[in-house]
Amino acid sequence: SYTINTMEKLESMYPDYDFRIIIGSDNWPRFPEWRDSEALIERYGLIVYPRRDYPLPDIVPDNVTVVDAPMVDISSTFIRECIAEGRDMNFFMPPQVYEYIERNKLYKNDGKQYGIE
């Protein structure tokens, strides 16, 4: 599913929450290719996190925050792939998030890629 669809669904399900999108600086150069990328920035905001070998942008649009944070050599793709392989990844995220992923069987190799409809 496209990120814009996921965000709209989350917004309709949880209208009292304020959602943001977090991407690594490795995704920043390709972000304009995402479906409705400008709307994503305008409506939800974007947080760009540093990744090794991918410099952070010097100039960004309004509603984009570049985080000055320590680099961690782990990605969401790595976590999703490990969960799909059946590995225990609970040490890489808050307990409630891991419980939700496990309870809803997200990222499992059952034909659904990411479990959000």
What pLDDT is attached to residue 2? Answer: 93
Residues 56 and 13 reside in one and the same domain: yes
Are 49 and 23 contained in the same domain?
yes
Same domain, 13 and 33: yes
CA-wise closest residue to 71 among 56, 88, 91: 56
**Of the candidates 77, 84, 89, 78, the residue with the CA atom closest to the CA atom of residue 106:** 84
pLDDT tens track for 42-90: 999 999 988 888 888 778 889 999 988 877 777 888 888 999 988 998 8
pTM to 2 decimal places = 0.65
User: Do 91 and 104 have their domain in common?
Assistant: yes
- What total of structural domains would you count in the chain? 2
- CA–CA gap between residue 14 and residue 11 (Å, rounded): 5
CATH of the domain at 64: 3.40.50.620
The chain-wide mean pLDDT, for the chain, equals 87
Residues 62, 6 within the same domain: yes
Residues 19 and 59 in one domain: yes
Strands (E), 6-111: 21-24, 46-49, 64-66
Is the CB of residue 20 less than 8 Å from the CB of residue 11?
no
d(CA 20, CA 6): 12
The domain in which residue 59 lies consists of 1-69
Q: Are residues 22 and 49 in the same domain?
A: yes
Shared-domain flag, residues 27 and 57: yes
